[in-house]
């Protein structure tokens, strides 16, 4: 049995279902991200774990103890809010020590623990400041320290970085992860930023419309998406319409050009139309050995993106784009030029439903 | 063309700012002139008047006369009534504001009470006095109901509308709605996350109020209570209409000194007014002091 | 959520009783002018009193003058403070709050003392009353206009108008004022309800206004004053209802205490 268990959790807000059939177990010390578009139920799930919402049905347990109906203030679960939610009337040190004060810990131990945590979050000399005198990133670190101070069984973070600017986001997320490892604390991290989820997590839960789409390691989620939604939501995709030629051998055609997929298409018949998805980064210009797949098309647009160059290509009815590094003496594709791109057969993802041509998140 | 030049010239002027003399403050002169003419100078002249005798000679006699027992009593009565109604009205208004904003009551209760509050906090003077006479006067509705239904004659038991407690009850009618009106938005300003973060750290509802919500609200609670104090302290019309001048409030005393036939001494009246301004100034000063200790975190 | 909201209901019920009982008692009383029957006798008697119409009309005129002067004075001032001299804002705000601090009785005797002797004898002119009422309207008008301007982004609006060739007059009257309609209405209605019921200033400056009329009736009659109280309450209610109607339910934002 896992440390934190959610068993068939369901939440209904006046007739509208926010979360449904949520079942998963989280191991001690694991870092799990909930990823999904806005309104898919991430926050609701997190708030049920924290105790701010009661599940309509299902159970939540921590360390084998059913806490489904335990009030939030007796759960010992730490939470970091998107808006920091620091108490403006208390100094940084008072904020961090607040949970301990409520537990009637003596003030000397509180002071020790607070100064230790201030070291951990790298703000050793800011204990006397008020939250309003700190930057957003600093405030969020204090919020993290405040949540950690009570030595919670589980740490919950609801989009903790979304109010910060891009640079701080990256450095702070790494800091959060490092502190989490240091404390070995079981953590759920809610985000709608896939890069954050992919780079931080031990496992990711991809959600959509209140349902779990897939649970897996970042690699599994990215490389082997199990549903169309996951494939299109995580990472960028080119989706091509293809015709099945030989199901058993995995041979298809894209706009009459032959393509091999390294997979059996047994469930299809010859002549069926299917969707094949390609990540832009698997597409290259010079075929490495073993890349059988080649597609010839016309360059439609070349976009300069700084470190990379994005090239949009058109075939008879399909189109795709791919990125290449912007090397100083590399030759750039020209608009209107005819070009052949290559990709490994193992990199073709099969997607069941119709999806937009190139799905970007 | 010309407007472009104008805009540019203006931006340039804004940028120069510190160098050449900035005349833009002249734009608020009419406002200040108006305030001086119709409020500040007249009040200041009263202050001057309180240091003069009727013939216009300088004297401290009026200030000394403020030490007379009946005057001190008037101040004391005014202060007591203002304190009581500010405290009771403040506490009750706060509880009411809490109930309508956070009490989980239906929405219409909230909007109903806020518009009621808007009316009641402006309901004063003669109509208010009449309303309370009709309610708690000797033949008032509540008095009658208490007598006939419950057999309690409040007037036999020492209550009288035309005394301290009666006037306080009447003042409360505009005091607690004022508190309600100002505190409701302040209570709305409490973030849900604060409560949740506190709960999360193990706080009970009581601990949340004690350590988080009340300290955050304290500056506005104190500020509003001072406003309530001043509101009652300067009130005259209601008391005048209710008691016809029989209750010895400072404001009523001033009226008698300046216009009265018996106790006619305008300069003493002016000194009384000066005393009121001083009391107000002291209460505002106290408030600023309290504010400073309760809202360090605001800066 | 889980527990029944006992305390909130208790406070609300108590508050509701405190609000309503005096109103109900007054209404009930005002309808009892004829022994034994409920009727509108008191209202008829009030409405037929020629002084009712006269004083009401007088106060109405004062209210209109006050509102006009107050708008003409405050809009340019607050606008200017927003746009060009924000550093004067605390001072302006302080002055607008003075009427709260200065008791009406002090105010009125200050006015009488200053303006009853040469060089400026103004006590005989209604201009003094209007001027004093304008001062009383400062807190309401200032807050209403300030809130309105904050929501407007005055600077951009002004610069846009200037770049289109507008002068200051055009900007104020064609751009700023129309956009402030709601804010001005709310300030105006509050001013209106205060001026209509004001007693102290009108009484001691000896003007035949509605407040002193109510006071006199209250001294001499029994039932009519109750009827008057109901009428004046209905007036206040009406003006606050109108504010809500125009201000889309921002009750409690611009309204603070009135003259007591
Ligand atoms: N208190 C509530 N009452 C009614 N419906 C709610 C409530 N809270 C959430 N919902 C609904 O539940 C659904 C899930 O909301 P939730 O806040 O969990 O989304 P989310 O995944 O966190 O989205 P975001 O990324 O925007 O934060 C939404 O449709 C939302 O409208
Ligand atoms: Mg959310």
Q: Which residues of chain C from 33 to 72 reach within 8 Å of chain B, CB to CB?
A: none
Stronger pLDDT, B204 or C179, i.e. the higher one:
B204
How many other CB atoms sit within 10 Å of the CB of residue A63? 14
pLDDT at A155 over 90: yes
Asked whether C226 and C29 are in contact (CB, 8 A), the reply is: yes
Strands (E), chain A: 4-13, 16-26, 31-35, 57-62, 65-66, 77-80, 154-158, 186-191, 203-208, 211-216, 238-246, 251-254, 257-260, 273-278, 293-304, 308-314, 319-325, 338-343, 349-351
For an interface test with A, which of B197, B199, B204 has the most A Cβ atoms less than 10 Å from its Cβ? B197
Query: Per the CB < 8 Å rule, is B200 touching A147?
Result: yes
What are the distances in angstroms from CA C138 to CA A3, A89, B38, C130, C142?
A: 64, 33, 12, 12, 6
Most confident listed range (A325-334, B27-36, C23-32): B27-36
Asked whether C230 and C223 are in contact (CB, 8 A), the reply is: no
Count contacts between A and B (CB, < 8 Å): 76
**What is the pLDDT at residue C242?**
72
Q: For residue B72, what are the contacts with CB-CB under 8 A and spacing of at least 6? A: B66
A309 pLDDT tier (thresholds 50, 70, 90) = confident
Asked whether C133 and C200 are in contact (CB, 8 A), the reply is: no
Looking at residue A150, what DSSP letter applies? T
Q: For residue B91, what are the contacts with CB-CB under 8 A and spacing of at least 6? A: none
Asked whether C57 and C208 are in contact (CB, 8 A), the reply is: no
Asked whether C229 and B131 are in contact (CB, 8 A), the reply is: yes
Asked whether C213 and C46 are in contact (CB, 8 A), the reply is: no
Report the sign of the C-alpha dihedral through residues B150, B153, B159, B162, in that order: positive
pLDDT in tens, C207-252: 999 888 888 887 777 788 888 888 877 877 777 677 667 655 444 4
Query: Per the CB < 8 Å rule, is B193 touching A50?
Result: no
Nearest CA in chain C to B143: C25
Note whether B293 contacts A: Cβ–Cβ < 8 A: no
> Closest Cα to atom 29, ligand 1: which residue?
A39
Stronger pLDDT, A352 or C200, i.e. the higher one:
C200
Note whether B292 contacts A: Cβ–Cβ < 8 A: no
Query: Per the CB < 8 Å rule, is C236 touching B119?
Result: yes
Pair type for strands A203-208 and A31-35:
parallel
Pair type for strands A154-158 and A77-80:
parallel
**What is the pLDDT at residue A202?**
95
Q: What is the mean pLDDT of residues A222-237?
A: 84
Ligand nearest to the CA of A158: 2
pLDDT in tens, C56-95: 889 989 998 999 999 999 998 998 888 888 888 888 888 8
Full strand arrangement of the beta sheet holding A308-314: A319-325, A308-314, A293-304, A338-343
> Closest Cα to atom 13, ligand 1: which residue?
A18
C2 pLDDT tier (thresholds 50, 70, 90) = very low
Q: For residue A205, what are the contacts with CB-CB under 8 A and spacing of at least 6? A: A24, A32, A33, A34, A35, A212, A214, A215
How many other CB atoms sit within 10 Å of the CB of residue C157? 16
pLDDT at A247 over 60: yes
Report the sign of the C-alpha dihedral through residues A195, A200, A202, A206, in that order: negative
> Rounded CA gap, B298 and B222, in Å?
15
Pocket test of ligand 1: the residue of A36, A39, A192 to mutate, having most ligand atoms within 8 Å of its CB, is: A39
Residue of B103, B113, B237 with shortest CB distance to C5: B103
Q: For residue C137, what are the contacts with CB-CB under 8 A and spacing of at least 6? A: C66, C67, C70, C187, C190, C191, C194, C195
Shortest CA distance to B170 belongs to which of B97, B254, B85, B248?
B85
Query: Per the CB < 8 Å rule, is C255 touching B273?
Result: no
Q: For residue C33, what are the contacts with CB-CB under 8 A and spacing of at least 6? A: C39, C41, C42, C45, C222, C223, C224, C227
Shortest CA distance to A127 belongs to which of A91, A80, A97?
A91
Dihedral angle computed from the Cα positions of residues C188, C192, C193 and C199, in that order, rounded to the nearest 10 degrees = 140
Bridge partners (DSSP) of residue A17 are A12
Tell me the pLDDT of chain C averaged across its residues: 81
Q: What is the mean pLDDT of residues A153-158?
A: 94
**What is the pLDDT at residue B12?**
41
Asked whether A266 and A248 are in contact (CB, 8 A), the reply is: yes
Shortest CA distance to A111 belongs to which of A153, A149, A148, A73?
A149
Q: Architecture of C40-259 per CATH?
A: Orthogonal Bundle (1.10)
**What is the pLDDT at residue C246?**
66
Domain boundaries, chain B: 55-297
Bridge partners (DSSP) of residue A257 are A254
Q: For residue A44, what are the contacts with CB-CB under 8 A and spacing of at least 6? A: A11, A18, A19, A53, A210
Asked whether C132 and C111 are in contact (CB, 8 A), the reply is: yes
> Rounded CA gap, B161 and B136, in Å?
6
Domain boundaries, chain C: 1-30, 40-259
Note whether B221 contacts A: Cβ–Cβ < 8 A: no
**What is the pLDDT at residue B17?**
43
Helices (H) and strands (E) in chain B, counts: 15, 0
Looking at residue B39, what DSSP letter applies? I
**Ligand 1 site: residues with CB under 6 angstroms?**
A 13, 18, 36, 38-44, 192
Q: Which residues of chain C from 172 to 201 reach within 8 Å of chain B, CB to CB?
A: 190, 193-194, 197-200
How many other CB atoms sit within 10 Å of the CB of residue B110? 19
Tokens 């807000």 — which residue?
A: A13
A225 pLDDT tier (thresholds 50, 70, 90) = confident
Give the tokens for residue B108. Answer: 């219409």
**What is the pLDDT at residue B261?**
60
**What is the pLDDT at residue C253?**
43
> Rounded CA gap, C71 and B98, in Å?
35
Note whether C81 contacts B: Cβ–Cβ < 8 A: yes
What is the separation, in whole angstroms, between the first and last Cα of chain B? 46
> Rounded CA gap, B55 and B52, in Å?
8
How many other CB atoms sit within 10 Å of the CB of residue B80? 12
Q: For residue C86, what are the contacts with CB-CB under 8 A and spacing of at least 6? A: none
> Rounded CA gap, B1 and C44, in Å?
67
How many other CB atoms sit within 10 Å of the CB of residue A4? 23
> Rounded CA gap, B277 and A230, in Å?
72
Atom of ligand 1 nearest to the CA of A14: 4
Peptide bond before C119: cis, by omega within 30 degrees of 0?
Answer: yes
Note whether B191 contacts A: Cβ–Cβ < 8 A: yes
C103 pLDDT tier (thresholds 50, 70, 90) = confident
DSSP string over A67-121:
-TTS-GGGS-EEEE-TT----TTS-HHHHHHHHHHHTT--HHHHHHHHHHHHHHT
Ligand nearest to the CA of A11: 1
| pLDDT tens digit at each of 299 positions of chain B | 344 334 444 444 444 444 456 777 788 899 999 999 999 999 888 888 888 887 878 888 888 888 888 889 999 999 999 999 999 999 999 999 999 998 888 888 888 888 788 778 777 777 888 889 889 888 888 888 888 888 888 888 888 888 889 999 999 999 999 899 888 888 888 889 999 999 999 999 999 999 999 999 988 888 889 888 988 988 888 888 888 778 888 888 888 887 766 667 788 888 888 888 888 888 878 877 777 776 666 65
Give the tokens for residue C125. Answer: 């002119």
Query: Per the CB < 8 Å rule, is C162 touching B104?
Result: no
Query: Per the CB < 8 Å rule, is B173 touching C257?
Result: no
Bridge partners (DSSP) of residue A314 are A298, A319
Q: Architecture of B55-297 per CATH?
A: Orthogonal Bundle (1.10)
Residues, Cβ < 5 Å to ion ligand 2: A 43
By CB atoms closer than 10 A (0-12, 13-18, 19+), residue C177 is: middle
Shortest CA distance to A312 belongs to which of A333, A291, A327?
A333
> Rounded CA gap, C186 and A261, in Å?
71
Asked whether C129 and C200 are in contact (CB, 8 A), the reply is: no
- Residues of A within 8 A of B197 (CB-CB) are 79, 81, 85-87, 143, 146
Stronger pLDDT, B25 or A138, i.e. the higher one:
A138
Cα angle: B194, vertex B198, B201; to 5 degrees: 145
């Amino acid at each position: 049995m896992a440390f934190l268990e959610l068993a068939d959790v369901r939440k209904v807000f006046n007739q509208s279902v926010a979360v449904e059939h949520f079942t998963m177990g989280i191991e001690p010390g694991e870092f799990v991200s909930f990823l999904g578009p806005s309104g898919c139920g991430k926050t609701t799930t997190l708030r049920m774990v924290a105790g701010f919402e009661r599940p309509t049905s299902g159970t939540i347990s921590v360390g084998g103890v059913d806490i489904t109906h335990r009030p939030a203030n007796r759960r010992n679960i730490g939470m970091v809010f998107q808006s920091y939610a620091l108490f403006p009337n208390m100094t940084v040190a008072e904020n961090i020590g607040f949970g301990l004060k409520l537990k009637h810990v003596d003030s000397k131990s509180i002071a020790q623990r607070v100064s230790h945590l201030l070291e951990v979050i790298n703000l050793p000399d800011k204990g006397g400041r008020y939250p309003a005198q700190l930057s957003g990133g600093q405030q969020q670190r204090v919020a993290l320290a405040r949540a950690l101070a009570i030595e919670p069984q589980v740490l919950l973070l609801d989009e903790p970085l979304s109010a910060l600017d891009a640079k701080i986001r990256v450095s702070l997320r790494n800091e959060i992860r490092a502190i989490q490892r240091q404390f070995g604390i079981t953590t759920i991290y809610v985000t709608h930023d896939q890069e954050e989820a992919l780079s931080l997590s031990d496992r990711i839960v991809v959600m959509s419309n209140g349902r779990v789409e897939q649970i897996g390691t970042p690699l599994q989620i990215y490389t082997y998406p199990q549903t169309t939604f996951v494939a299109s939501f995580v990472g960028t995709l080119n989706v091509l319409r293809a015709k099945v030629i030989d199901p058993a051998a995995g041979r298809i055609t894209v706009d009459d050009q032959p393509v091999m997929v390294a997979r059996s298409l047994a469930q299809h018949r010859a002549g069926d139309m299917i969707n094949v998805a390609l990540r832009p980064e698997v597409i290259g210009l010079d075929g490495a050995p073993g890349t059988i797949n080649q597609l010839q098309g016309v360059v439609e647009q070349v976009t300069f993106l700084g470190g990379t160059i994005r090239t949009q290509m058109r075939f008879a009815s399909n189109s795709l784009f791919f990125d290449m590094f912007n090397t100083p003496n590399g030759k750039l594709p020209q608009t209107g030029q005819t070009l052949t791109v290559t990709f490994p057969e193992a990199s073709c993802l099969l997607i069941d439903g119709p999806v937009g041509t190139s799905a970007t998140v | 063309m010309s407007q472009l030049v104008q805009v540019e010239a203006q931006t340039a002027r804004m940028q120069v700012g510190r160098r050449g003399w900035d005349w833009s403050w002249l734009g608020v002169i009419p406002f200040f002139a108006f305030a001086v003419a119709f409020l500040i100078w007249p009040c200041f002249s009263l202050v001057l008047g309180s240091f003069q005798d009727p013939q216009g000679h300088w004297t401290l006699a009026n200030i000394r006369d403020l030490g007379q027992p009946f005057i001190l009593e008037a101040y004391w009565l005014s202060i007591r009534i203002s304190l009581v109604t500010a405290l009771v009205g403040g506490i009750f208004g706060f509880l009411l504001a809490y109930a309508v904003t956070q009490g989980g009551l239906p929405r219409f209760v909230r909007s109903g009470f806020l518009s009621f509050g808007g009316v009641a906090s402006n309901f004063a003077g003669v109509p208010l006095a009449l309303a309370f006479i009709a309610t708690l006067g000797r033949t008032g509705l509540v008095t009658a109901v208490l007598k006939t239904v419950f057999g309690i004659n409040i007037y036999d038991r020492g209550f009288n509308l035309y005394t301290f407690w009666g006037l306080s009850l009447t003042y409360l009618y505009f005091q607690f709605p004022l508190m309600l009106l100002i505190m409701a938005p302040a209570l709305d300003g409490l973030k849900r996350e604060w409560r949740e973060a506190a709960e999360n750290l193990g706080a009970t509802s009581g601990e949340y109020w004690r350590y988080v919500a009340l300290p955050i609200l304290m500056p506005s609670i104190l500020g509003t209570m001072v406003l309530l104090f001043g509101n009652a302290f300067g009130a005259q019309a209601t008391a005048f209409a209710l008691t016809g001048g029989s209750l010895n409030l400072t404001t009523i005393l001033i009226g008698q000194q300046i216009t009265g036939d018996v106790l006619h001494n305008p300069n003493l009246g002016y000194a009384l007014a000066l005393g009121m301004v001083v009391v107000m100034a002291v209460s505002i000063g106290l408030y600023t002091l309290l504010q400073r200790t309760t809202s360090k975190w605001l800066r | 959520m889980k527990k029944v909201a006992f305390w909130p209901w208790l406070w609300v019920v108590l508050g509701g009783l405190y609000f309503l009982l005096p109103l109900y008692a007054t209404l009930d009383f005002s309808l009892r002018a004829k022994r034994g029957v409920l009727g509108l006798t008191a209202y008829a008697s009030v409405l037929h009193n020629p002084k009712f119409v006269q004083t009401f009309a007088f106060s109405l005129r004062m209210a209109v003058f006050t509102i006009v002067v107050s708008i003409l004075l405050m809009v340019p001032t607050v606008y200017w403070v927003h746009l060009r001299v924000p550093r004067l804002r605390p001072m302006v705000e302080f002055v607008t709050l003075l009427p709260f601090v200065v008791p009406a009785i002090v105010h009125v005797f200050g006015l009488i003392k200053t303006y009853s002797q040469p060089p400026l004898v103004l006590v005989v002119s209604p201009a003094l009353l209007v001027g004093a009422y304008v001062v009383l309207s400062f807190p309401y008008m200032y807050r209403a206009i300030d809130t309105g301007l904050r929501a407007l982004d005055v600077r951009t609006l002004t610069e846009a108008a200037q770049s289109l060739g507008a002068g200051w007059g055009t900007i104020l009257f064609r751009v700023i004022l129309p956009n402030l309609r709601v804010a001005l209405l709310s300030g105006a209605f509050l001013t209106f309800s205060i001026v209509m019921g004001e007693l102290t200033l009108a009484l001691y400056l000896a003007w035949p206004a509605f407040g002193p009329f109510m006071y006199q009736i209250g001294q001499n009659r029994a039932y009519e004053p109750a009827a008057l109280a109901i009428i004046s309450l209905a007036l206040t209610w009406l003006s606050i209802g109108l504010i809500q109607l125009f201000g889309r339910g921002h009750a409690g934002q611009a309204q603070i205490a009135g003259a007591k």
